[in-house]
Amino acid sequence: MTNPTIGAVYLAVAGLVFLLGFVILKEAPRERPNRATALMLFFAGLGSGLGAIGFVLENPAAATGGMNDLIASFNFLWELFFPSLLYFACVFPTRNTVYRRIPFAGALIFTPHIFHLLFLVLLSQGVMVGELVASIAQAPLGRALVSAFRLPVELAIRFHQILFSLVNLFYIAVALTILFVSYRRAVEHRLRNQMRAIFIGLASCTGLYALAVPLPTLFNRPVEPILRTTLIVGALILGSGAIAYSMVRYRFLDANLIARKSILYAVTSAFLLAVYLTIVRQLDAFLETLPGYDTSIFKTAMLLLALVLFQPAFSWLEEVLDRFFLRDRTDYRAVLRRVSSEILTVLDLEKLTENVITTLLEATPARTTVLLIAPEGKPPVVRGFGGEGSVEDVAAIPRHALARYLEDVEILRDGDVVALAERRGVAEEVAPLLAMRPYVLLPLRHAGEFLGLIALGRKITEMRYKAEEVNLLQTLANQVSVAARNALLYRESLDKVLIEEELAVARRIQRQFLPETLPRILRFDLAALNVQSRQVGGDYYDLVPLGDGRYLVVIVDVAGKGVPAALLASMVQASIRTQADDGKPVREVMSRLNRLVFEATPEDRFATCFLARLDGAGLTVSFSNAGHNFPIVLPAAGGCRYLEEGGIPLGITSDAAYPQSETSLAPGDAILLYTDGITDARNRGGEDYGEDRLLLLMERLSREMTADEIVRTVADEVSRFTAGADQADDITLVALKAREVIQ
């Protein structure tokens, strides 16, 4: 390959490196890492460009001696790459501790090389310096001074050239050491990948440079100019290429998609240009050497072939590079794609928060990351790390304080975080959150309901959040809000299903306590009905055989509904059945039952109970009432009356007394036992059925009705009255009717 061709390649590389530097500087000109990286690339591009010009000037006819002197004057500018390298190592990923403590550290890093550059520029002006020395030497004192200082100056110049090679090696060693230490300390995955790629590239870069300049100078083993220039340009290409690779592959310096696409576009174009220079141009040059061959035909054919193949080849190469470099988990497009699969479809809050934290770490690695989901009336779920506080303290912040703090806020940044808390008077309440040092705060809302927040501290690299990142965070916050609401609804439905399953089991168990069939008693006809307002309830009835044709009739109504009421009802039933065999009077059974309920339940739990002992041989009923609805007696002769004797409900006091009463029934007389689900039943207008309606209904009933007909008539009448209104309480009916003859 000819020198001009090599020069053209190096010049193209210089253009790409300059382009990369401008892209980085344009991304965030105020960020120190961006400025340091851009400086490295500018000086690397300058070195490659000067190397390209040097190859061209190897042709004696290509330039004049004056041009060679001009190029030589600027040839050492590219060595500012090395202080730029040290400056970069001191500010990325964060400013070095020593760098922070030294005033004007950035300027001091460049001072030796600026002095070196000025010194070399002065030396390059040989004619001017010679004339100055000659004018000084005209005087006797001047001749003496020139004679005295000639040797020290020549030694100083030689010593400076050797010493400055050591300065560059020292800069290289310090910069790589700092970068390696920073790499070992980095814990975030993407940052480690960035630093590893950059460290390898810069280490290779400085290694080639050491082979080209400092080592040959120190050991007085000069290398050929072409080899020296090749090693230097190769070193600069490796360093710049490592930066470009880290930007495109790992979003170094938080480069956005457009910047990364621009780099890939430039690389693709350079590759196709290199193909043209190395193949087509060489083939064209070969054809020109053939006698009688018209190269215009070849050039026309190559032009047509390029027009046909360039776009498909360019698209294919761009797609390959895009697939390999851009499609990684940390890319913003990949993050948004994963949101639909790893966040929106997750219905478990714990798993959701873990996925969101992982996504936030990959998208925008920050020193502090907190995700709080605080739904109304439910325990908060929190995940996070960093800051001086704890995420548990953040979860303990009252929800209403957070809602007031972030009301009508889309996003809070930096100084507004604390200022808004103070303006709204919640700084003290949200102090645990402020202790996490959030730099960005995003509320989570769904349909106007406050659900929680996302808090992010400053980036690990201390760089600002870009507009692209802010847009990503807002999109992510919206998606998390939807996912959190879905997870909450799913949890509610799951809890409901679980409760319904448990209630179904409890209902089956409770139904087993109710008599499947009522026994036939010598002188009594029996019927009963139990309708629960929920899966399980607090009403129950029982018929306990006592032997010798005697039975204990029980009806109980426990205060409350659902599982707690059912548990107390089951306990009362078990106690009654246990005591039934003792043969004790019903008043003693009731007293024992009262003490049990009082000792085994909270103060707000009580029950009403009616116990009646039936003597099958006769028509006598002995009963005791603990605050239950008064049973209604329907004499066969007509009219009706209450059995009004009784005491207070069970469980109010431990020493309550319960009287025992007796009533005798004539054949055809009936007794109706019921719970307040009958009298408290309401229609759509909010009107209670009431005791008066029940009493009037009983008076109108035919005395020829059986016990079963009485129960069904009362139940049907109440159902017509409510006319489909929701059943507010359990309903239980028990009817006893004395028979005229023994069957």
Q: What is the pLDDT of residues 75-110, one digit of tens each?
A: 567 788 889 989 999 998 888 888 888 888 888 998
Average pLDDT of 659-683? 90
Long-range contacts of 165-169 (CB under 8 A, 24+ apart): 165/213, 165/214, 165/217, 165/218, 166/214, 166/218, 167/112, 167/113, 167/116, 168/79, 168/82, 168/209, 168/213, 168/214, 169/210, 169/214
pLDDT top residue among 216 and 455: 455
Name the pairing type of β-strands 539-547 and 670-674.
unpaired
Q: 196 and 65, same structural domain?
A: yes
193 domain-assigned: yes
- pLDDT tier, 356 (very low <50, low <70, confident <90, very high otherwise): confident
pLDDT top residue among 156 and 209: 209
Q: What letter represents residue 79's amino acid?
A: E
The tens digit of pLDDT for each residue in 17-32 reads 787 788 778 877 788 8
- Residues 368 and 396: beta-carbon distance below 8 Å: no
Q: 196 and 217, same structural domain?
A: yes
Size of the chain, expressed as the number of residues it contains: 743
pLDDT top residue among 726 and 464: 464
Q: 411 and 279, same structural domain?
A: no
pLDDT top residue among 541 and 135: 541
The tens digit of pLDDT for each residue in 342-351 reads 676 777 888 8
Segment holding 280, helix H or strand E? none
Q: 433 and 309, same structural domain?
A: no
CB crowding 21-54: b at 16 or more within 10 Å, else e:
bebbbebbeebbbbbbbbbbbbbbbbbbbbbbbb
CA distance 3 to 679: 110
For residue 316, what are the domain limits? 258-326
- 66 pLDDT above the threshold of 50: no
Average pLDDT of 576-582? 82
CATH of the domain at 484: 3.30.450.40
Q: Which two tokens stand for residue 452?
A: 């929680």
- Residues 470 and 456: beta-carbon distance below 8 Å: no
The tens digit of pLDDT for each residue in 409-442 reads 889 888 888 899 999 999 999 999 988 889 999 9
Mean pLDDT is lowest, of 167-176, 258-267, 480-489, 591-600, for: 258-267
- Residues 642 and 633: beta-carbon distance below 8 Å: yes
Choosing from 211, 228, 255, the residue where a domain stops is 255
CA distance 255 to 325: 13
- 463 pLDDT above the threshold of 50: yes
Q: 239 and 265, same structural domain?
A: no
192 domain-assigned: yes
Segment holding 175, helix H or strand E? helix 140-185
SS3 assignment for 214-265: HHHHHCCCCCCHHHHHHHHHHHHHHHHHHHHHHHHHHCHHHCCHHHHHHHHH
Q: 466 and 318, same structural domain?
A: no
Q: 447 and 469, same structural domain?
A: yes
pLDDT of residue 625: 94
- 68 pLDDT above the threshold of 50: no
Mean pLDDT of the residues in the chain? 79
Q: How far is CA 479 from CA 385, 439, 681, in A?
A: 22, 21, 47
pLDDT of residue 335: 63
The tens digit of pLDDT for each residue in 218-270 reads 777 777 877 877 787 788 778 888 887 787 777 777 765 555 566 666 666 66
CA distance 177 to 170: 11
Q: For residues 513, 514, 517 and 519, what is the CA-based torsion angle, rounded to 10 degrees?
A: 90
507 domain-assigned: no
Residues in Cβ contact with 665 at an 8 Å cutoff, skipping those fewer than 6 apart: 619, 620, 621, 633, 671, 738
Choosing from 490, 524, 543, the residue where a domain stops is 490
Q: 359 and 286, same structural domain?
A: no
651 domain-assigned: yes
* C-alpha distance across the termini of the chain, in Å: 126
- Residues 181 and 97: beta-carbon distance below 8 Å: no
Q: Which two tokens stand for residue 467?
A: 């507009």
Q: What letter represents residue 404's amino acid?
A: R
Q: Which two tokens stand for residue 545?
A: 């055989």
The tens digit of pLDDT for each residue in 135-164 reads 666 666 666 665 665 655 555 666 666 667
CA distance 560 to 567: 11
- 276 pLDDT above the threshold of 70: no
Q: 365 and 313, same structural domain?
A: no
Q: Which two tokens stand for residue 252?
A: 């170094």
CA distance 426 to 395: 15
The tens digit of pLDDT for each residue in 602-614 reads 877 889 999 999 8
Residue 383 CA neighbour count, 13 Å, CB half: 13
Q: For residues 469, 475, 480 and 486, what is the CA-based torsion angle, rounded to 10 degrees?
A: -170
Residue with tokens 């010798």: 548
How many structural domains comprise the chain? 4
Q: Which two tokens stand for residue 51?
A: 């190397």
CA distance 740 to 522: 10
pLDDT of residue 64: 45
Mean pLDDT is lowest, of 42-56, 126-140, 612-626, 673-687, for: 126-140
- 69 pLDDT above the threshold of 50: no
Q: 472 and 530, same structural domain?
A: no
Average pLDDT of 681-694? 88
pLDDT of residue 308: 64
710 domain-assigned: yes
- Residues 665 and 553: beta-carbon distance below 8 Å: no
Predicted TM-score (pTM) of the model is: 0.57
Q: Which two tokens stand for residue 1?
A: 């390959």
Average pLDDT of 517-535? 80
- Residues 268 and 318: beta-carbon distance below 8 Å: yes
- pLDDT tier, 629 (very low <50, low <70, confident <90, very high otherwise): very high
508 domain-assigned: no
pLDDT of residue 366: 85
CATH of the domain at 205: 1.20.1070.10
Q: 349 and 278, same structural domain?
A: no
Q: What percent of the chain has pLDDT over 90?
A: 17
pLDDT of residue 323: 63
Q: 663 and 695, same structural domain?
A: yes
- Residues 554 and 587: beta-carbon distance below 8 Å: no
555 domain-assigned: yes
Q: Which two tokens stand for residue 176?
A: 């790589």
pLDDT of residue 735: 94
CA distance 541 to 545: 13
| Phi, psi values for residue 32, rounded to 5° | -60, -45
592 domain-assigned: yes
pLDDT top residue among 693 and 244: 693
- pLDDT tier, 514 (very low <50, low <70, confident <90, very high otherwise): confident
Choosing from 255, 270, 303, the residue where a domain stops is 255
Q: Which two tokens stand for residue 566?
A: 């059912």
- pLDDT tier, 707 (very low <50, low <70, confident <90, very high otherwise): very high
- 315 pLDDT above the threshold of 70: no
pLDDT of residue 405: 92
Residues in Cβ contact with 698 at an 8 Å cutoff, skipping those fewer than 6 apart: 632, 634, 640, 672, 714
Mean pLDDT is lowest, of 86-90, 320-324, 720-724, for: 320-324
pLDDT of residue 185: 87
Tell me which residue of 308, 736, 279, 717 sits closest to 543, measured CA to CA. Answer: 736
CATH of the domain at 560: 3.60.40.10
Q: What is the DSSP string of 503-572?
A: HHHHHHHHHHHS-SSPPPBTTEEEEEEEE-SSSS-SEEEEEEEEETTEEEEEEEEESS-HHHHHHHHHHH
Dihedral sign from CA coordinates of 109, 111, 117, 119: negative
Q: What percent of the chain has pLDDT over 70?
A: 73
pLDDT of residue 469: 79
